[in-house]
Amino acid sequence: MSTSGLFSEEHSAEVVAASFADTPDPRLRQVLTSLVHHLHAFVKDVELTEEEWAVAIDFLTRTGQLSDEVRQEFILLSDVLGVSMLVETINHRSGGTATESTVLGPFHVVESPPRALGDDIALDGKGVPCLVSGRVTGPGGEPLAGASVDVWQTNEDGFYDVQQPDVQPAGNLRGMFTADGDGRFWFRSVVPRYYPIPDDGPVGQLLAATGRHPYRPAHLHVIVAAPGHRTVTTHVFVADSPYLGSDAVFGVKESLVREVPEVDDPARAAELGLANPFRTLTVDLSLLRDDRVQPGAP
Dist. CA 252–CA 261, nearest whole Å: 20
What's the confidence (pLDDT) of residue 1?
A: 42
Whether residue 234 contacts residue 99, with contact meaning beta carbons closer than 8 Å, is answered with yes
Residue 120's beta-bridge partner residues? Answer: 188
DSSP string, 98-160: SPPP----TT--SSPPB--TT-B--TT--S-EEEEEEEEE-TTS-B-TT-EEEEEE--TTS--
What's the confidence (pLDDT) of residue 290?
A: 85
What's the confidence (pLDDT) of residue 4?
A: 67
* More confident position, 3 or 195: 195
Percent of the chain surpassing pLDDT 90? 87
Dist. CA 249–CA 153, nearest whole Å: 16
What values do phi and psi take at 70, rounded to 5? -100, -40
The count of other CB atoms within 10 Å of the CB of residue 251 is: 22
What's the confidence (pLDDT) of residue 69?
A: 78
Q: Which amino acid is at 273?
A: G
Q: What is the pLDDT of residues 205-264, one digit of tens each?
A: 999 999 999 999 999 999 999 999 999 999 999 999 999 999 999 999 999 999 999 999
Q: What is the pLDDT of residues 168-204, one digit of tens each?
A: 999 999 999 999 999 999 999 999 999 999 999 999 9
> Could you tell me how far CA 53 lies from the centroid of its own chain?
30
Whether residue 136 contacts residue 224, with contact meaning beta carbons closer than 8 Å, is answered with yes
Whether residue 164 contacts residue 172, with contact meaning beta carbons closer than 8 Å, is answered with no
Question: Running DSSP on this structure, what letter comes out for residue 70?
Answer: S
Pick left, alpha or beta for residue 296 (phi over 0 → left; psi -120 to 50 → alpha; otherwise beta).
left
Buried/exposed code over 187-202 (b: 16+ C-beta within 10 A; e: otherwise) = bbbbbbbbbebebebb
Q: What is the pLDDT of residues 89-146, one digit of tens each?
A: 998 888 778 999 999 887 888 789 999 999 999 999 899 999 999 999 999 999 999 9
Q: What is the pLDDT of residues 44-67, one digit of tens each?
A: 999 999 999 999 999 999 999 999
Closest CA to 243 of 192, 196, 204, 191: 196
